[in-house]
Structure 1
């Protein structure tokens, strides 16, 4: 499927603007245009993280399936889990178009979408309809741009989707909603986590099952900012971190024309920066807190490198724009081959094995 995509389908999709092409991809998954290609189960890839059992450590990051339209189709492509959203309580259109830009020479994407989504109601209906299908589906929650109480928007997300979410991600790190990243400041973060986790605890008690909450952070943090987030995450017994969202940096890009577009950069150029920040957060929170590594994952080698730097699980999105729907299954199959080469009983055995290296990488 990879070769066919690169030869034909990608050329066709790239004739369209990126947002239209994305809509066509969602439509293709809805209609079954992309066949299921789950790789063979490998017990060495099974991971238990935050009380959840993942068939493999590779997930689809939030942003691809904003409105919970195709989580099951994504799982059939070979992902061990899928994260939908970001969802805001009320529908919102996001920022003016055009707002997604391909940097083909860099294998990168810049977006300034601005949490465009159909709101809680539409996603709730779709998730309810697939509730009996199983599989790990996380719900990424955010705040409306014009919200008068952003913390209340996150709490509303917890309450609305508690019965349907395998886990939650509080997204406070998108650069495309003005002021959102201010929630990463220590006092604001403390207030947010207190409210969100209190709501989670109430809903979890009603349901009789745990509801893990992850916090998605930016790669553009200072050392002091990382200190503050780690301290608050530990103080509040947060279930885990997702490192990281898109970056505002444009360092080292070949496509200097598109680099001038405002928004968050993702894809291959984000790999080194996001992995170095991941290692720094691992060193701060210690060995027990789960971390999901995101940013520039395009192969089994890059996925495994995130794990070596301290991740328990990894996610991708932008690199699939260039590699196509066969990418997740290929990565999972190739991870098994890498474990054959390493001679380990579990991929977990390789976590942190290059932590010191990534701690030495400048960010």
Structure 2
């Protein structure tokens, strides 16, 4: 069915198509039957039992408006956000561009969202009882030296409702955000987050894991420093990767020179390289969740073979449709770490 509907959606402005999709799923998602015949093989990651290894990446459902509809796709987990303490409109439009020949998307959305209170209200009203990740960020006008305050404010509010929380310091579309991946900045941020996590665990009587989402545009030396920081602060997981600023794989294509992060098939190879390098650096001390360019079951297995424990989808769903969830779940059912 998606192959019939996709041409219509691709006639629309990309952001209009996205908004229409979320609106439709929010209002009519309850009528969607599960498209995933196999629920997959459960796996323990970050102390949580995931029904299968495939999840929805953050960014598609920023405000948690369509959680129950996405649950029908057969995902083993759903990650919503990125959410910020205060509502913000994001960057000026247009800010979302398709590159169909490369099966890629460039976005410079800028953490557009309705704020953390709105997201929490949506989570409370959802019926979904599975693994829910909530991805948190900072407001665009919060000085980078005070970024930790925004992350802590979000963590306080989402903690009671999340299965795990992802700290997004890798979007290229919020000014200076990637500075937080620097050694001293990252060390200070992770220390603050872990201290707050410990306090919240005592207050709520449950431990909610923290994952860090990183960029693909990092050199080996910086990746090694980040791996050391993840181990030192006992972060529970790492998500690799966010979108890339590189245009090497799409040079010369329409929209290739637009500012923003590139996702989709052009990111596949680099994302997998980062996963593999991280796996060697971390040596199993914390799990890796892979995202970037997964368009088939084969692509998902490639991420697992590189060292990931879980795989997330986003741009692949835009090009391939919701059946991609079923395909990747089925392909990864028999995977086991040797």
Determine if the TM-score, normalized by the shorter chain, exceeds 0.5: yes
Post-superposition offset of 1:168:
0.4
2:15 paired with 1:15: no
1:125 pairs, out of 107, 121, 125, with 121
Distance 1:310 1:318 in 2: 21
2:62 paired with 1:66: yes
2:336 pairs, out of 320, 342, 348, with 348
Secondary structure of 1:157's aligned partner: helix
Q: Is the 2:99–2:254 contact (alpha carbons within 8 Å) kept by the matching residues of 1?
A: no
Aligned to 1:140: 135
Gaps of 5+ in 1: 340-346, 351-363
CA displacement 1:314-360 (0-9 Å, x = unmatched): 10101111111222112212334xx3xxxxxxx2325xxxxxxxxxx
Aligned to 1:335: 332
2:172 pairs, out of 168, 172, 175, with 175
Post-superposition offset of 1:29:
1.5
Q: Is the 1:292–1:313 contact (alpha carbons within 8 Å) kept by the matching residues of 2?
A: yes
Aligned to 1:324: 321
2:85 pairs, out of 79, 82, 89, with 89
Q: Is the 1:34–1:325 contact (alpha carbons within 8 Å) kept by the matching residues of 2?
A: no
CA displacement 1:267-319 (0-9 Å, x = unmatched): 01101001001111111111131110010011111101100000000101011
Deviates more, 1:326-335 or 1:50-59: 326-335
Q: TM-score, normalised by structure 2?
A: 0.96
Secondary structure of 2:139's aligned partner: coil
Distance 2:201 2:285 in 1: 21
Q: Is the 1:81–1:135 contact (alpha carbons within 8 Å) kept by the matching residues of 2?
A: yes
1:253 pairs, out of 228, 233, 250, with 250
2:109 paired with 1:113: yes
Secondary structure of 2:197's aligned partner: helix
CA displacement 1:25-59 (0-9 Å, x = unmatched): 112212126432232334xx211001100010000
Q: Is the 1:141–1:170 contact (alpha carbons within 8 Å) kept by the matching residues of 2?
A: yes
Secondary structure of 1:139's aligned partner: strand
Distance 2:336 2:198 in 1: 29
Secondary structure of 1:215's aligned partner: strand
Distance 2:142 2:250 in 1: 35
Distance 1:246 1:181 in 2: 12
Aligned to 1:52: 48
Distance 2:39 2:292 in 1: 25
Gaps of 5+ in 2: none
CA displacement 1:131-185 (0-9 Å, x = unmatched): x641011000000000142110001111011110000000000000010000000
Aligned to 1:343: none
Distance 2:281 2:244 in 1: 21
After TM superposition, the structure 1 = structure 2 runs for residues 194-233 of structure 1, keeping only pairs within 5 Å, are: 194-233=191-230
Q: Is the 1:274–1:295 contact (alpha carbons within 8 Å) kept by the matching residues of 2?
A: yes
Q: Is the 2:231–2:285 contact (alpha carbons within 8 Å) kept by the matching residues of 1?
A: no
Deviates more, 1:293-302 or 1:247-256: 247-256
Distance 1:242 1:326 in 2: 23
Distance 1:133 1:99 in 2: 31
Distance 1:54 1:247 in 2: 28
CA displacement 1:221-274 (0-9 Å, x = unmatched): 011110110111111011010000000001122652211101000001101001
Q: TM-score, normalised by structure 1?
A: 0.89
Count of aligned pairs:
334
Secondary structure of 1:85's aligned partner: strand
Q: Is the 1:106–1:254 contact (alpha carbons within 8 Å) kept by the matching residues of 2?
A: no
Distance 2:303 2:85 in 1: 33
Deviates more, 1:148-157 or 1:91-100: 148-157
Secondary structure of 2:336's aligned partner: helix
Distance 1:84 1:349 in 2: 28
